[in-house]
Structure 1
């Protein structure tokens, strides 16, 4: 009888532990989804200058899995409260798949962070020649220069005689005339600033993915324990 009571107590502990773990996982999934949406909405302009789709590909992976994790965590809470064994088993299998995908997405964020310099300078030098000819590249350069307050790849001299207005310093909401006045041009090139900008955001994305993947591992452990404790 003591053993049965002990098992009941253990089962109850696992039940509420899994419920709490899935609540934390739900918050993690929503956080990852939010970071992905923020990055996509506010940072996607820079993608044309990177020379690779790895950065935005990682964002899309984590957005999709973040949304799925939040939904799955809800069903994990339901399975824990209702003590439905088949739902717990399905939960475990789905979480295992998402765990792998999210872990890969998080690692890709860090891999991109280390490789960003290798491709960026070459792509930026190539794309600067397409300014004014390709709309996406033109918008990317203008947005990058105005957002990061920089000009050209290494300096404004990269533009030659085709200096765009986005290189001009802005004061009180107005662009200063800068075509023939270098003191009114953003002094720093965009390569270093863009590299720092992307690396910082890739680190945030990577960390969010890996932390949430670790939380999923916790959810799998509790789901297995609860599955075994249910008679």
Structure 2
């Protein structure tokens, strides 16, 4: 009876775990869609790798969604094949998540160059479309910065070589940036590169931590699955 009671507890723990896991998969799908939409609304980073990231999140979310379904059904019906399939697929997901965490950590070291390239491209195209102009202005006003590395990056903004966009001004008024590139009283001197890089690194770090925590919880799910598989295979009935 002790063994049956223990297996019964494992059964319900596995079912509860998979229900939470199912919700996590659903959440990943929603987050991936939201991030994808957000990327289409910002022009700071146009690197293909970063654009593909939300798509990967959506795909992983869909896979987790269906894996959790296998786990829930297998635990509730005490189906050995479904529980086994759940454990195998969950193991593969853990490997992918650990690889993604490593890739994210490696990408952090390349982030500075990606941000530099993205911001420089935005500045070059500042006057080409209203979309780029609005994106740069909002970035500079929000982070109280000017240019990529400093306000001097706007030296080609106007023929005088000493003017910056109005969004660089401490107090934004009409033509406030004319002839004020190196004036710290009127114009922000700090570039936007460091602020954007710090923000992205912080977000990537949280994603890495979350991936490792979820991977740990998934390992617990595999342990529960293996215990239940062992009980089913041994012929114990779990009520």
> Which consecutive residues of structure 2, in runs of 5 or more, have no partner in the other structure?
158-163
2:18 pairs with 22, 29, 45, which one? 22
Equivalent pairs counted in the alignment come to 222
Aligned partners of 1:109, 1:139: CA distance in 2, in Å?
30
Aligned partners of 1:93, 1:168: CA distance in 2, in Å?
58
| TM-score, normalised relative to structure 1 | 0.77
Corresponding position of 1:164? 165
Distance change (3 Å), C-alpha of 1:31 and 1:119: same
* Alignment RMSD: 3.0
Aligned partners of 2:83, 2:142: CA distance in 1, in Å?
47
Corresponding position of 1:176? 173
Matches within 5 A, 1:147-162: 147-162=142-157
Distance change (3 Å), C-alpha of 1:72 and 1:56: same
| TM-score, normalised relative to structure 2 | 0.75
Shift of 1:7: 3.3
Distance change (3 Å), C-alpha of 1:204 and 1:84: same
> Would the aligned equivalents of 2:39 and 2:51 in 1 still touch at CA under 8 Å?
no
**Which deviates more, 212-221 or 161-170?**
161-170
Aligned partners of 2:139, 2:227: CA distance in 1, in Å?
51
Distance change (3 Å), C-alpha of 1:98 and 1:18: same
Corresponding position of 1:88? 83
> Would the aligned equivalents of 1:58 and 1:106 in 2 still touch at CA under 8 Å?
no
More helix by share: 1
Q: Equivalent residue of 2:230, what SS?
A: helix
1:112 matched to 2:107? The reply is: yes
Q: Equivalent residue of 1:145, what SS?
A: helix
Aligned partners of 1:198, 1:68: CA distance in 2, in Å?
26
Flag the structure with larger Rg: 2
Q: Equivalent residue of 1:215, what SS?
A: helix
Q: Highest relative contact order (Cα 8 Å, sep 6+), 1 or 2?
A: 1
Corresponding position of 2:196? 194
Aligned partners of 2:110, 2:189: CA distance in 1, in Å?
26
Shift of 1:25: 2.5
Shift of 1:38: 4.9
Matches within 5 A, 1:36-55: 36-42=32-38, 48-50=43-45, 52-55=47-50
